[in-house]
């Protein structure tokens, strides 16, 4: 902390700097006022010059208009004069557009000097603040339209005259010539009115220009007097404040020295609290590490002191490593312009992790950060890293167990296939055994689904468990540091309660799936589908698959075994997920919807994996038929699904390839339709 004298001196210098800047800005303000007045003068001069251009254009178009009838004898000559007229009219319209809307008007000035090219003149004009359309523009716009009609009319008459002349039809030639003469007798008054309109604009602009020039002289004198008064006032205020600050500098020196001693004691106490944490805790100013606890040195054992560590590494992110292309693991890279720490703070609800190596082995950590303001401007960032290596290893072992379970099922399935090959000779004799094998197959299918379930639960639990750990660790550190408010503690408590409720609901869904409800019960098919979605949601989310739901807003009641029906939906949802991933679909979508007809309640599940090949689509419900690798599929999932729906539910299950558009999204892939009879 700066001592009192230095701080007050800095403040005093700041006051003088502010005073100087104020004087500079004040002077710039008055300069801008005068400049604005000069701009107004130039603007009116520009308006006056544009009006003169329009006046010249009107005279030019008048001359060309009379030339069209008096000097043109051929179609080519008329076209040349007509083009000149159109060009002049366009120039007038451009001028009116600039007067109406503001902008830049570029005109080519003919010098008529041999050896000297024409020059281009640019006129910049800004409209009034009121944006009112000038009366001149209002008057001239319809006259330009009328002028175009007059040009078109006379051109047509001249064409008729030319044609009658070619036919040597003197009678018709005389009539049309008479019409042309009569038409031209009415035009001088029209051009006179146009000239009067533009001259009125020139006159008004000239009057306004003289008025504003006189006003500018008066305002400049007024601004100079006002600027002098304000400059003297600013200098006086700065001197008074500087004198007052210099009086109190010495009084506060002793108080700040005492505060410095107290801060030193608190710093020692805070360090002791940090060192008592098992998690690695790092204090940062947002750019570099400024402190850490002893847990940092315990993990990075090669460093004897924190100072030694900080000399080599300004950021803990130097040790971040990628892990299995998992996007939840932070890296030392740019996140759309944000650093990893900014990205972490913006996504507090996301369960981020990091992988670091201390020279011996890789360790996984959950990571969280909190931003705490010391005052209105200064803040510190507290980064907490909790070692979750054992949890990650447990997850890997769980996946291995799941793979072993699939291998056992594959072995049993192969055994059943061998037995099935010899059934032709022992049909009657082995009938009872086959029934037992069918029951085993049902159980195997259930175990396979159970394996998927365990994986889903692991996905579902990973985030809330890590979030509970990070939230508890963070609030503990904040409480020990004495920077946790009651609001922070209550929010952390509510967050943990929400995570626990989520875990409890996951267990209830798992129990419902495992329940052997052999009795026929009444159930809502929408509820069964929703529970199946809840079980698979984590797997879908981890693989970036969007599940679009469209359930009918009413109870769809049927009778049967809801747990077995849930197994059917799980099989279809897992197959859709695998098909999308195997086909490497970029934008991954699955759509599930419910509906009803007169006799059935219906659930449809449509993916966008491209569909099932036509040559095998009729076989996918056959036992032991699978499109997956032998290590991934047994070929009994859809067979058992068909068995459950048709035998236990008295319903139907079908599949077809189709393309549909739902909510502006196109789905091209397999669509499974499950129909269950309604309760009569």
Condensed to tens digits (0 to 9), the pLDDT of residues 190-205 reads: 777 777 766 776 666 6
- E-strand stretches of 195-247: none
3-state secondary structure of 630: coil
Which of 463, 495, 514 terminates a domain? The answer is 514
Find out whether 61 and 147 touch, Cβ atoms under 8 Å: yes
The token duo for 211 is: 């008025």
pTM over 0.75: no
Q: Is the dihedral of CA 567, 573, 577, 583 positive or negative?
A: positive
Q: Of 58-62, 440-444, 617-621, 674-678, where does mean pLDDT reach its minimum?
A: 440-444
For 301-311, write each residue's pLDDT tens digit: 889 888 888 88
Band the pLDDT of 413: cuts 50, 70, 90.
low
Residue 112 lies in a domain: no
The answer to whether residue 242 scores a pLDDT higher than 50 is yes
User: 555 and 642, same structural domain?
Assistant: yes
User: 195 and 72, same structural domain?
Assistant: yes
Find out whether 137 and 198 touch, Cβ atoms under 8 Å: no
Neighbours of 78 (CB within 10 A): 19
Alpha carbon distance 24, 570 (integer Å): 74
Average pLDDT, stretch 532-536? 83
Band the pLDDT of 522: cuts 50, 70, 90.
very high
Closest among 587, 551, 601 to 669, alpha carbons compared: 587
Please report, for the domain that includes residue 52, its CATH number: 1.20.120.1730
pLDDT at 435: 55
Residue 344 lies in a domain: yes
Alpha carbon distance 654, 457 (integer Å): 29
Average pLDDT, stretch 613-629? 77
Nearest-Å Rg of the Cα atoms of the chain is 44
Alpha carbon distance 605, 593 (integer Å): 7
Alpha carbon distance 253, 6 (integer Å): 10
Phi-psi region of 588 (alpha: psi -120 to 50; beta: other; left: phi over 0): beta
Query: CA separation (Å) from 352 to 57, 171, 340, 583?
Result: 73, 98, 11, 29
pLDDT at 452: 58
User: 330 and 219, same structural domain?
Assistant: no
Residue 546 lies in a domain: yes
Q: Of 138-142, 291-295, 601-605, where does mean pLDDT reach its minimum?
A: 138-142
Alpha carbon distance 349, 527 (integer Å): 28
Alpha carbon distance 273, 483 (integer Å): 13
Q: CA dihedral in degrees (578, 580, 582, 586; nearest 10)?
A: -150
DSSP string, 107-133: EEEP---TT---EEEEEEE---TT-PP
User: 495 and 554, same structural domain?
Assistant: no
The token duo for 507 is: 């267990």
User: 227 and 167, same structural domain?
Assistant: yes
Query: CA separation (Å) from 347 to 331, 342, 368, 497?
Result: 15, 9, 10, 20
The token duo for 420 is: 């099935």
Alpha carbon distance 416, 427 (integer Å): 14
3-state secondary structure of 632: coil
**Whole-number mean pLDDT of the chain?**
77
Q: How much of the chain exceeds pLDDT 90, in percent?
A: 13
Which of 387, 422, 444 terminates a domain? The answer is 387
- E-strand stretches of 454-599: 521-524, 546-550, 557-560, 589-596
Residue 118 lies in a domain: no
In the block, residue with structure tokens 């000038």: 134
Residue 200 lies in a domain: yes
Range of the domain at 342: 276-387
Q: How much of the chain exceeds pLDDT 70, in percent?
A: 72
Q: CA dihedral in degrees (480, 481, 487, 492; nearest 10)?
A: -60
Band the pLDDT of 144: cuts 50, 70, 90.
confident
Q: Of 251-255, 333-337, 673-677, where does mean pLDDT reach its minimum?
A: 251-255
Mention every residue, 6+ apart, whose C-beta is less than 8 A from residue 380.
283, 284, 285, 290, 371, 372, 374
Closest among 391, 392, 348, 393 to 367, alpha carbons compared: 348
Alpha carbon distance 317, 329 (integer Å): 11
Q: Of 131-135, 348-352, 403-407, 584-588, where does mean pLDDT reach its minimum?
A: 131-135
Alpha carbon distance 572, 575 (integer Å): 5
Alpha carbon distance 303, 301 (integer Å): 5
Alpha carbon distance 184, 312 (integer Å): 94
Query: CA separation (Å) from 273 to 106, 309, 378, 390?
Result: 75, 20, 22, 26
Average pLDDT, stretch 7-35? 69
Q: What is the DSSP letter of 624?
A: T
User: 442 and 554, same structural domain?
Assistant: no
Residue 566 lies in a domain: yes
The answer to whether residue 19 scores a pLDDT higher than 80 is no
User: 576 and 435, same structural domain?
Assistant: no
Band the pLDDT of 40: cuts 50, 70, 90.
confident
Average pLDDT, stretch 131-154? 73
371 has which bridge partners? 381
Residue 255 lies in a domain: no
User: 644 and 666, same structural domain?
Assistant: yes
Side-chain half-sphere of 141: how many Cα atoms within 13 Å?
10
The answer to whether residue 633 scores a pLDDT higher than 50 is no
The token duo for 330 is: 């932070």
The token duo for 295 is: 């847990």
Find out whether 144 and 92 touch, Cβ atoms under 8 Å: yes
The token duo for 293 is: 């606890």
pLDDT at 631: 39
Average pLDDT, stretch 618-623? 84
User: 526 and 577, same structural domain?
Assistant: yes
Alpha carbon distance 306, 308 (integer Å): 5
Query: CA separation (Å) from 25 to 21, 34, 230, 310, 492?
Result: 6, 14, 11, 44, 49
Please report, for the domain that includes residue 304, its CATH number: 3.30.450.20
Phi, psi of 366 (to 5 degrees): -85, 145
Q: Of 233-242, 361-370, 663-672, where does mean pLDDT reach its minimum?
A: 233-242
DSSP string, 364-393: EEEEEEEEEESSSS-EEEEEEEEE-HHHHH
The answer to whether residue 421 scores a pLDDT higher than 50 is yes
Which of 474, 492, 514 terminates a domain? The answer is 514
User: 601 and 495, same structural domain?
Assistant: no
User: 668 and 536, same structural domain?
Assistant: yes
User: 280 and 358, same structural domain?
Assistant: yes
Neighbours of 95 (CB within 10 A): 24
In the block, residue with structure tokens 């510190």: 380
pLDDT at 2: 46
DSSP string, 390-456: HHHHHHHHHHHHHHHHHHHHHHHHHHHHHHHHTTTTSTTTTHHHHHHHHHHHHHHHHHHHHHHHHHH
* Total tally of structural domains belonging to the chain: 4
Q: Of 83-97, 576-590, 614-628, 651-665, where does mean pLDDT reach its minimum?
A: 614-628
Q: State the angle between helix axes of 135-167 and 4-70 in degrees (0 to 180), rounded to the nearest 10.
A: 30
In the block, residue with structure tokens 């100087």: 20
Q: Which residues of 604-620 are buried (b: 16+ CB within 10 A; e: fewer)?
A: bbbbbbebbeeeeeeeb
pLDDT at 629: 44
Consecutive H or E run containing 303: none
Residue 521 lies in a domain: yes
């Amino acid at each position: 902390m700066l001592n009192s004298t230095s701080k007050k001196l800095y403040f005093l210098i700041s006051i003088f700097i502010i005073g100087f800047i104020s004087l500079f800005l004040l002077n710039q303000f008055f300069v801008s006022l005068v400049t604005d007045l000069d701009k107004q003068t130039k603007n009116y001069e520009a308006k006056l010059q544009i009006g003169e251009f329009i006046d010249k254009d009107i005279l030019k178009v008048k001359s060309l208009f009379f030339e069209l009838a008096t000097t043109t004898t051929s179609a080519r000559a008329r076209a040349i004069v007509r083009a000149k007229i159109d060009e002049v009219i366009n120039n007038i319209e451009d001028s009116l557009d600039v007067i109406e809307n503001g902008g830049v008007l570029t005109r080519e000035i003919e010098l008529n000097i041999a050896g000297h090219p024409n020059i281009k003149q640019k006129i910049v004009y800004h409209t009034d603040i009121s944006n009112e359309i000038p009366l001149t523009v209002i008057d001239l716009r319809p006259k330009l339209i009328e002028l175009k009609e007059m040009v078109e009319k006379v051109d047509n008459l001249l064409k008729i005259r030319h044609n009658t002349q070619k036919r040597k039809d003197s009678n018709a030639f005389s009539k049309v010539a008479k019409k042309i003469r009569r038409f031209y007798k009415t035009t001088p008054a029209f051009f006179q009115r146009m000239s009067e309109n533009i001259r009125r604009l020139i006159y008004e602009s000239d009057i306004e220009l003289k008025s504003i020039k006189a006003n500018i002289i008066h305002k400049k004198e007024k601004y100079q007097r006002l600027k002098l008064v304000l400059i003297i006032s600013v200098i006086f205020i700065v001197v008074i404040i500087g004198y007052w600050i210099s009086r109190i500098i010495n009084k506060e020196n002793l108080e700040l020295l005492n505060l410095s001693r107290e801060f030193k004691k608190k710093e020692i106490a805070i360090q002791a609290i940090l060192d008592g944490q098992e998690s690695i805790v790092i204090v940062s100013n947002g750019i570099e590490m400024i402190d850490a606890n002893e847990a940092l040195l315990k993990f990075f054992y090669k460093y004897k002191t924190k100072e030694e560590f900080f000399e080599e590494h300004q950021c803990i992110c130097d040790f971040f490593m990628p892990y299995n292309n998992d996007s939840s693991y932070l890296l030392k890279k740019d996140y759309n312009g944000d650093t990893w720490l900014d990205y972490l703070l913006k996504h507090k609800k996301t369960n981020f992790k990091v992988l670091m190596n201390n020279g011996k082995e890789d360790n996984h950590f959950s990571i969280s950060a909190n931003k705490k303001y010391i005052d209105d401007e200064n803040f510190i960032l507290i980064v907490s890293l909790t070692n979750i290596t054992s949890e990650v290893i447990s997850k890997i072992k769980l996946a291995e167990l799941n793979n072993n379970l699939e291998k056992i099922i594959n072995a049993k399935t192969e055994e059943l296939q061998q037995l099935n090959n010899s059934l032709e000779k022992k049909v009657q004799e082995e009938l009872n055994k086959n029934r037992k094998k069918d029951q085993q197959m049902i159980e195997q299918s259930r175990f396979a689904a159970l394996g998927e379930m365990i994986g889903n639960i692991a996905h579902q639990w990973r985030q809330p468990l890590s979030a509970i750990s990070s939230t508890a660790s963070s609030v503990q550190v904040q409480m020990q540091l004495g920077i946790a408010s009651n609001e922070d503690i209550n929010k952390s408590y509510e967050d943990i309660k929400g995570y626990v409720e989520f875990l409890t609901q996951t267990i209830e869904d798992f129990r419902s799936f495992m329940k052997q409800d052999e009795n026929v019960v009444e159930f809502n098919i929408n509820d069964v589908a929703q529970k199946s979605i809840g079980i698979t949601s984590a797997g879908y989310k981890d693989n970036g698959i969007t599940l679009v739901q469209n359930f009918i807003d009413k109870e769809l009641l049927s009778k049967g075994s809801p747990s077995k029906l849930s197994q059917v939906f799980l099989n279809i949802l897992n197959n859709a997920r695998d098909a999308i991933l195997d086909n490497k679909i970029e934008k991954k979508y699955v759509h599930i919807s419910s509906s009803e007809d007169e006799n059935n309640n219906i659930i449809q599940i449509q993916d966008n994996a491209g569909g099932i090949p036509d040559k095998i689509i009729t076989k996918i419900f056959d036992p032991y038929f699978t499109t997956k690798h032998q290590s991934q599929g047994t070929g009994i999932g859809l067979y058992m699904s068909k068995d459950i729906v048709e035998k236990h539910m008295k319903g139907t299950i079908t599949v077809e390839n189709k393309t549909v558009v739902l909510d502006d999204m196109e789905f091209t892939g397999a669509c499974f339709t499950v129909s269950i009879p309604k309760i009569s």
